[in-house]
Amino acid sequence: MGEMVSLWPLMGIAVIVAGFLLRFNPVLVVIAAGIVTGLAAHMPLLTILEKLGEGFLNTRNLPFILLLPLAVIGLLERHGLKERAQAWIAKIHSATAGRLLVVYLFVREATAALGLTSLGGHPQMVRPLLAPMAEGAAEKIHGELPGAVRYRLRAMSAATDNVGLFFGEDIFVAFGAIIFMHNFMLESGGIQTEPLHIALWGIPTALCAFLIHGARMWRLDNYLQREMAKAHAAANRGDA
C-alpha cells in the first residue's frame, strides 16, 4: 500500500482564494500562502524564507519587462492613439462593433495557433486599440453611447481576446499544456501519444469556440441597436 499523501499543504490555495476575495494586497497574499504551505509541509521557517528569497531573485527583472510595454502604451495613448483608432474605424462604412470583434477573434485564434501569443493582450491591444475601435464603430452608427453600453463593449472586447488566445494556443504543438498532457499520459497510464495529434484535436474545440463567440458578437450588434433605441426613446420623452 502506498504512502499516504498529506493534503495539508493545499491550505495555501485556500489562503490565496480568501485573500483575493477579501481584496488584500496580492503580494502579501502570495507570501502568506507560501508561508502557510511551507509550514503545513513541515519545512523550517528559514527554509521557507530562503525559497521566497530565491523566487524573488529569479523574477526580479520581470516587473521591468511587464512595465516597459505599459509605459510605451501610456505614451501612445497620451498622444492620441485611441482617437486615431476610432477615427480610422469610422471611415470603414460596413464596420460594426460585432463584425470588428469577429475579425479580431479570427486573427487572435489564428496567430495563437502559430505560437504568436504576444501579438494581442489586454494592456497592449484591447485597451489602447480594440476597445476604442469597437466604441468608434458603434458611435458611427448609433451616436454617443451610454456608460453601460460603453462598458459592455469593453468587456466583450476583453472577452474576445481571452477566447481567441485560450482556444487558439491549444492548437500550437509546442504549447506547454500539450506537452504536459503528453508526458502525463505516458508516465501515468503508459499511453503513447504524439503532441501533434493532441494539438490537432484542439482544432474542433477552437472552431466551436469561434462559432459560439461569433454568435455572441452577432447578438452584440442587436443588443446595441435595442439599447440605443431605448436610450433615444427615453431622451425624446424627456424633451417632451
Confidence of residue 70 (pLDDT cuts 50, 70, 90): low
**Residue 102, pLDDT above cutoff 90:** yes
The most confident of 45-54, 55-64, 69-78, 184-193, by mean pLDDT: 45-54
The pTM of the full predicted model, rounded to 2 decimals, is 0.67
Give me the long-range contacts of 175-181 (CB less than 8 A, separation at least 24).
175/115, 175/199, 178/202
Please name the residues in contact with 15: beta carbons below 8 A apart, sequence gap of 6 or more: 29, 32, 33, 36
Q: CA-to-CA distance for 14 and 36, rounded, in angstroms?
A: 10
> Tens digit of pLDDT for each residue in 165-222?
999 988 887 777 777 777 777 666 677 778 788 888 889 999 999 999 999 998 998 9
> pLDDT digits over 136-173, tens only?
888 888 888 888 899 999 999 999 999 999 999 888 87
Whether the per-residue pLDDT at 63 is higher than 60: the answer is no
Q: How many residues does the chain have?
A: 240
pLDDT band at 239 (very low <50, low <70, confident <90, very high): low
pLDDT at 69: 64
Q: Which three cell numbers stand for residue 127?
A: 485597451
- The mean-pLDDT minimum among 1-5, 10-14, 224-228, 235-239 falls in 1-5
pLDDT of 5 above 70: no
Alpha helices in 59-175 (DSSP H): 62-78, 81-90, 97-113, 131-142, 147-168
Return the number of other C-beta atoms located less than 10 Å from residue 129's C-beta: 23
Q: Looking at residue 1, what is its pLDDT? A: 42
Which whole number is the average pLDDT over 97-105?
A: 93
Averaged pLDDT for residues 84-112: 86
- Please report the pLDDT score of residue 24 as a whole number: 87
